Structure 1
Amino acid sequence: MKVAVIGCTHAGTAAVKNIATLYPEAEVTVYERNDNVSFLSCGIALYVGGVAKDANGLFYSSPQELASMGVSMKMKHEVLSIDTNEKRITAKNLETGEQIEDTFDKLVMTTGSWPIIPPIDGIKLNNIVLSKNFHHANNIIDKAKEAKKITVIGAGYIGVELVEAFEKYGAEVTLIDGEERILNKYLDREYTDLIEDEFRKRNVTLALNQTVTKFEGENGNVSKVITTKGEYEADLVILCVGFKPNTGLLNGQVDMLGNGAIVVNEYMQTSNPDVYAAGDSCAVKYNPTGEHMYIPLATNAVRMGTLVAKNLVKPSIRYMGTQGTSGLHIYDYSMASTGVTETSAKLLNMNVKSITITENNRPEFMPTYEPIMLKVTYEEETSRIVGAQIISKVDVTQAINTISVGIQKGLTIEELGFVDFFFQPHFNKPWNFLNQAGLQALA
């Protein structure tokens, strides 16, 4: 069995390791245009902020490790075309310029995503950089050493984490986003207000509800960002406006969403049963709605990559879908969310209600305790839980993993009130705060 794997980040690495282990007789070839594999881009802000001292620690595999498993690693090779009917690949060696052709029995598309680069006047000026891969991380670190005024465009997780890192680094930081508040896709306003206040306390400029119209420069370097509402001086700009699936090689050959995300079934097969896909190149089943959605997360990627291997020869293990569960730590706050928010539910035309509680994490007779704000969102007609958000200065984010399991299993808000959780004063109260949300809904 000849298996071709295109791209080797999170999903690709998981797929390759498991394929090599499960099918040692298979002839596995990886085509990767970079010189590395498995880079944890979610660690870029930690690297920039000095928490992760060595960027090499942000890799969890290497071309050498995969080659030692019997995999043919075609590093610095760009795939130019794929013919899924003829099962043929054409690729180019980026070092020598040589073109090669190959065939496959099974194709694994783990090409990931790439940052969206908006067509803004002046965007090709120096010191306007992306934040995605290992080389971007090193580029940002290098340029940040000299930068005094740094602008981050895009207030999602990556952008917000970078703002914190640059502020701690001592730079004058501006955060620009077209939405009226940060982290709009992940958290409702009562949560994002807290984080915005933390940024303002530290003199971070929040330029929200405005879009960039132009970059101006001096001597080829960016010097100013022009938006629909103002002008901001900058000697370094980081673009974090989102990602798009990297799937052009299969255009017209498999089913995709409108944004190019490949649609896969529960066994990671595309509409062509010999073509599998996983990770940021894919649309995944979103359990709160039951529909396919584009949710690029490393957690989804490694699960899907592993399932590609498990199902490569015959359908064996189903993908259970995702809740889009994610977490974030900004300054003293730990926060996490899963499923839909009230904001996103409106966009999805879902009829939902929410319960919000503020409760201390431990009994008040303990020497210390901290407030927790928990919000649980559920369908009004069925009481099925479809989302939750939490924030606190103590780390209670694992509670969101519990809710994520509940969403996956169809737990109702009433049932949440009576789920069995332990009690011990060092950790919680007799009625766990998750129970309390369910009980308040009943009341």
Structure 2
Amino acid sequence: MKVAVIGCTHAGTAAIINTAKLYPDAEITVYERNDNISFLSCGIALYVGGIVKDVQGLFYSSPEELGKLGVTTKMKHDVLEVDTDKKKLRVKNLDTKEEFEDSFDKLIITTGSWPIVPPIEGINLENILLSKNFYHSNSIIEKAKNVKNIVVVGAGYIGVELVEAFEMNGKKVTLIDAEERIMNKYLDKEFTDIAEKEFSDHGVKLALGEKVVKFEGENGKVSKVVTDKGSYEAELVILCIGFRPNTELFKGQLDMLPNGAIIVDEYMHTSKEGVFAAGDSASVIYNPTGKRQYMPLATNAVRMGTLVARNLVKNTTKYIGTQGTSGIKIYEYNIASTGLTEESAKREGLEVNTVTITDNYRPEFMPTYDAVTVKVVYEKESKVILGAQICSKTDLTQSINTLSVCIQNKMTVDELAFVDFFFQPHFNKPWNFLNLAGLNAE
């Protein structure tokens, strides 16, 4: 069995390692246009902020490691064309410029995503950078050394984490986003208010509800970011507007969502026999709505890549979907979310109720204790849980994984009230705060 893999970050690495272990006789060839694989891009802000000292720790595999499993990894090889019907692909060696053809029995598409770069005036000025791969992180660190004013465009997780890293390194930072709130895809206003106050208290300028209209420069370098409501000095600009799937090779050959994310079934099959897709190049089944959506998260990628390997020869393990569970630390606060927010549920046309509780997470007779705020979003009629958010100075974010399981299994908020959680004063109260959320629901 000849297996060709295009792209090798999270999903690709998971698919390759598991395929090699499950099918030791398979002939596996990986094509990767970069000269490194398996870079944990979610660690960029930690690297930029100096928390991660050795960048090699952000790589969790290598061509040498894959070679030990019998995998042929062709680095700096760009796949130019793919014919999914004839099961052929054309490849260019980026070092030698040589082009050649290869064939496959099974194709694994893990081409990932790429940052959205809007066609804004001045976008090509020097010192306007992206934040996605190993080279981007090195450029950001190098350029940031000698500048004072940094503007981050885009207030999703990556943008927010970079803002904190820059501020903690003594930079004057402005965060711009066209939306009225930061991280609005993941959190409702009660939680983004906390995060925004933390940034303001640390001297970060928040320019929210502002759309970038142009970049101005001096001597070819960016000097100012102009929005529809103001302008901001900038010696360095990081674009964190979002991602789109790298799937141009397959347009017209495979079924896709409107944004280009490849549609896969529960076994990671695309619309063509023998062709699989996983990770940021593919869509996911989003359990709170039951719809196929685009959700580029490393957690989704490694699960999907593993499932590709398991289902490569025959259907063995179903994809059970995702809740889009995620977490972030902003200064002292630990924040996490899963499923739909109240705002996103209403955008979906769903009738929902919510319950929000704030309580000390463990008994007040203990020497220390912190408040925790939990919000649960649930369907009005059925009371089935659709989403949840949590925030506390003590790291209680693992509780959001519990609520992710609740959503996965279509539990109701009434059932949450009486779930069996242990009690020990070091850790919690007789009524766990998740139970309290259920008890306090309408």
With the shorter chain as reference, the TM-score category is over 0.9
CA deviation vs aligned residue, 1:117-154 (integer Å, no higher than 9, x gap)? 00000010000000000000000000010111000000
* In structure 1, distance between residues paired with 2:380 and 2:280: 32
The letter of the residue matching 1:389 is Q
CA deviation vs aligned residue, 1:334-373 (integer Å, no higher than 9, x gap)? 0100000011112211111100000101111111110000
* In structure 1, distance between residues paired with 2:346 and 2:224: 36
Query: Which residue of the partner structure matches residue 81 of structure 2?
Result: 81
Query: Which residue of the partner structure matches residue 69 of structure 1?
Result: 69
Query: Which residue of the partner structure matches residue 317 of structure 1?
Result: 317
* In structure 2, distance between residues paired with 1:147 and 1:292: 43
Query: Which residue of the partner structure matches residue 365 of structure 2?
Result: 365
CA deviation vs aligned residue, 1:397-435 (integer Å, no higher than 9, x gap)? 000000001100111000000000000011000000000
Query: Which residue of the partner structure matches residue 437 of structure 1?
Result: 437
Q: CA deviation at 1:305?
A: 0.2
Tell me the secondary structure at the aligned position of residue 160 of structure 1: helix
Tell me the secondary structure at the aligned position of residue 313 of structure 1: coil
* In structure 2, distance between residues paired with 1:48 and 1:225: 22
Give matches, 1:279-290, under 5 Å: 279-290=279-290
Query: Which residue of the partner structure matches residue 236 of structure 1?
Result: 236
Give matches, 1:238-253, under 5 Å: 238-253=238-253
The letter of the residue matching 1:225 is V
Tell me the secondary structure at the aligned position of residue 419 of structure 1: coil
* In structure 1, distance between residues paired with 2:229 and 2:374: 35
Query: Which residue of the partner structure matches residue 118 of structure 1?
Result: 118
Tell me the secondary structure at the aligned position of residue 299 of structure 1: helix
Query: Which residue of the partner structure matches residue 181 of structure 2?
Result: 181
Tell me the secondary structure at the aligned position of residue 90 of structure 2: strand
Give matches, 1:73-222, under 5 Å: 73-222=73-222
Q: CA deviation at 1:203?
A: 1.1
Tell me the secondary structure at the aligned position of residue 441 of structure 1: coil
CA deviation vs aligned residue, 1:239-296 (integer Å, no higher than 9, x gap)? 0000001111110111100000001000000111310000000110000011100011
* In structure 2, distance between residues paired with 1:413 and 1:319: 25
Q: CA deviation at 1:437?
A: 0.6
CA deviation vs aligned residue, 1:163-213 (integer Å, no higher than 9, x gap)? 000000000000000000100100000100011111111111000101111
* In structure 1, distance between residues paired with 2:111 and 2:325: 22
The letter of the residue matching 1:165 is A
Check if 1:390 corresponds to 2:362.
Answer: no
Query: Which residue of the partner structure matches residue 375 of structure 1?
Result: 375
* In structure 2, distance between residues paired with 1:132 and 1:111: 13
Structure 1: unaligned runs, 5 residues or longer: none
* In structure 2, distance between residues paired with 1:39 and 1:2: 26
* In structure 1, distance between residues paired with 2:74 and 2:343: 44
Query: Which residue of the partner structure matches residue 414 of structure 1?
Result: 414
Q: CA deviation at 1:56?
A: 1.1
Tell me the secondary structure at the aligned position of residue 222 of structure 1: strand
* In structure 2, distance between residues paired with 1:67 and 1:235: 43
* In structure 1, distance between residues paired with 2:365 and 2:194: 27
* In structure 2, distance between residues paired with 1:147 and 1:330: 23
Query: Which residue of the partner structure matches residue 53 of structure 1?
Result: 53
Tell me the secondary structure at the aligned position of residue 195 of structure 1: helix
* In structure 2, distance between residues paired with 1:91 and 1:381: 55
Tell me the secondary structure at the aligned position of residue 407 of structure 1: helix
Tell me the secondary structure at the aligned position of residue 438 of structure 1: helix
CA deviation vs aligned residue, 1:296-333 (integer Å, no higher than 9, x gap)? 10000000000000000000000000000000001000
* In structure 2, distance between residues paired with 1:82 and 1:347: 38
The letter of the residue matching 2:395 is D
* In structure 1, distance between residues paired with 2:238 and 2:411: 41
Tell me the secondary structure at the aligned position of residue 441 of structure 2: helix
TM-score (norm 2): 0.99
* In structure 1, distance between residues paired with 2:441 and 2:203: 39
Say how many residue pairs are matched: 442
Which region of structure 1 is more displaced relative to structure 2, 58-67 or 3-12?
Answer: 58-67
* In structure 1, distance between residues paired with 2:68 and 2:139: 30
Tell me the secondary structure at the aligned position of residue 238 of structure 1: strand
Tell me the secondary structure at the aligned position of residue 262 of structure 1: coil
Query: Which residue of the partner structure matches residue 339 of structure 1?
Result: 339
Q: CA deviation at 1:26?
A: 0.5
Q: CA deviation at 1:381?
A: 1.5
* In structure 1, distance between residues paired with 2:237 and 2:80: 31
* In structure 2, distance between residues paired with 1:243 and 1:352: 29
The letter of the residue matching 1:249 is L
* In structure 1, distance between residues paired with 2:409 and 2:36: 38
The letter of the residue matching 1:234 is A
TM-score (norm 1): 0.99
**Matched-pair identity in %:** 68
Query: Which residue of the partner structure matches residue 18 of structure 1?
Result: 18
Query: Which residue of the partner structure matches residue 262 of structure 2?
Result: 262
CA deviation vs aligned residue, 1:88-129 (integer Å, no higher than 9, x gap)? 000101111000100000000000000000000001000000
* In structure 2, distance between residues paired with 1:249 and 1:74: 18
* In structure 1, distance between residues paired with 2:352 and 2:60: 40
* In structure 2, distance between residues paired with 1:211 and 1:68: 50
Query: Which residue of the partner structure matches residue 348 of structure 1?
Result: 348
